[in-house]
Structures are given as C-alpha cells and as structure tokens.
Amino acid sequence: MSSFATARQKMVDGQVRTNDVTDHRVLDAMLTVPRETFVPEDRRALAYLDLDLDISEAGSAKRFLIKPMLTGKLLQAAEIAPTDHVLVVGCATGYLAALAARLAEKITATEPDPVIEGRAKALIGNQGNVSVRVAGCAQGDPGDSRYDVILLNGASEVPVDGLCRQLKEGGRLVGVFAKTKPARAMIITHSHQDFGSRVLFDAAAPVLPGLERVPEFVF
C-alpha cells in the first residue's frame, strides 16, 4: 500500500469515522478518491491532515479544501441519492465534487477563480457525470438549473436565498453558516414552496468568496 493510500485510510479511520460518519457510501468515496491529487505538489504531504488546506497559488485569492472530517459530515447530512443532481458551490480544485460524483447521478461544480476552475476541470473533467464552470458563489449555477442537493465547499456569512431558489422541491442545501458565533453547519430544505432550516452541528470553515459579510460602518 502506498504512503498516500495509508494516509487516506488513517484519515477515514481517525478523523471521519470517529466524528459519527457512518454512511458506507461516503466512507467508500473518501477511501477511494485521492485527496492528494487536488493539492499543489509542494503541499501534498499535508493532504490528509485535519485542517482546511490552502490550495491557492502565490498572489491569488485564498482557496481551500475544507477539513476531511467536515467534508464527510456534510456529505452524510446531504443524504445524496444515486439519482440526485448536485451543485457544488466554490469547488476549488474539485475534491468535494469528485466525492459527490461517486454518490450522485450528475454533478455541476462552480468556482469563481478561472485559474482554479481550470485546474478542477483538468482533474475531474474526465468523469462523465461532472461538469465544472466559472461562476460566483452567490450566483450558483448560471444556467439556472434546479438541484436535489447543493453543497457549499466552505462557509457563508450572509443569507443564500439565491442558491436556495435553485433547489428542487424536496431539495436540500448543506453548508457552514457563520452569520453568528459559533458558526454552525446547517441544512436548508425546500418543501411545499417554502424553506426550512435546522442546525446540524457546530463547525468552522473558510468563508467562500462572494459570501462574506459586508462590513458595517459605525459613525
């Protein structure tokens, strides 16, 4: 077994299973998809550590792969079915989208940075059920499709009403919301032409570009 495969097994056993991720489909995906592939070569030794991993290049905006533990818990909470169409918002280099592709029928992944979007497309574009495109995180899918599941690959400090409107009836949006402290992972569901939300667990993640809180001016 390679050193990365060993590290991947230890990540799943030590970080993911121990945080109440029991869905065998999620665990199998995280055991199969090589996280190190989605990390710049000079940081691959960090790929399986319990941290939000900076995958941005020098001089560009900071972009991250969120912690493996949080990744697994969000995927489990989303309850992705094999027939689902999933939108991954702020996909960075595409790790979360690659995992979701093993659970769902079709994945659309968006990334606001064209350079990083190009890297994601190169890494996962050969998977037949994944498409990657440039779009702002608040925009969601510029094609205005509707989705069974929307996954935020990071946190939002603001309401995501526009994204919620891209949910199908019965759809759910899962992500971290940092509108208040502490930040919390939440699920928003679309049912009977209305939206409901509930807290899943306390969590923290880097804020996605375009979903930052607007600073308030105090006079």
Residue 209 belongs to a domain: no
The total number of structural domains in the chain stands at 1
Task: Count CA atoms closer than 13 A to 3's CA, side-chain side.
Answer: 5
Over range 112-127, report the average pLDDT. Answer: 89
With a cut of 70, say whether residue 153 has pLDDT above it. yes
**Banded model confidence at residue 181, pLDDT cuts 50, 70, 90:** confident
**Banded model confidence at residue 91, pLDDT cuts 50, 70, 90:** very high
Residue 207 belongs to a domain: no
Over range 123-141, report the average pLDDT. Answer: 90
Residue 163 belongs to a domain: yes
Let me know if 25 is exposed, middle or buried by CB neighbors in 10 A (0-12, 13-18, 19+): middle
Q: What is the pLDDT of residues 196-218, one digit of tens each?
A: 999 999 999 999 999 998 766 55
With a cut of 70, say whether residue 112 has pLDDT above it. yes
Contacts 24+ apart (CB under 8 A), 112-119: 112/136, 112/137, 112/209, 112/210, 113/60, 113/61, 113/63, 113/209, 115/57, 115/60, 116/55, 116/56, 116/60, 116/63, 116/92, 117/91, 119/93, 119/94
Over range 47-54, report the average pLDDT. Answer: 96
**Banded model confidence at residue 194, pLDDT cuts 50, 70, 90:** confident
Residue 20 belongs to a domain: yes
Q: Residue 20 has which token pair?
A: 């109440």
Q: What are the φ and ψ backbone dihedral angles of 92, each rounded to 5 degrees?
A: 55, -130
- Predicted confidence at residue 152, as pLDDT, reads 98
Interatomic CA distance for residues 199 and 57, integer angstroms: 34
Q: By percentage, how much of the chain surpasses pLDDT 70?
A: 96
Residue 213 belongs to a domain: no
**Banded model confidence at residue 59, pLDDT cuts 50, 70, 90:** low
Residue 219 belongs to a domain: no
Prediction pTM value: 0.94
CATH number (domain holding residue 154): 3.40.50.150
User: Helices (DSSP H) in 33-105: which residue ranges?
Assistant: 68-78, 95-101
Residue 103 belongs to a domain: yes
Q: Give the range of the structural domain holding residue 142, as residue numbers without chain letter.
A: 3-202
- Predicted confidence at residue 218, as pLDDT, reads 53
Over range 152-181, report the average pLDDT. Answer: 95
Q: Mean pLDDT over all residues of the chain?
A: 93
Q: By percentage, how much of the chain surpasses pLDDT 90?
A: 85
Residue 22 belongs to a domain: yes
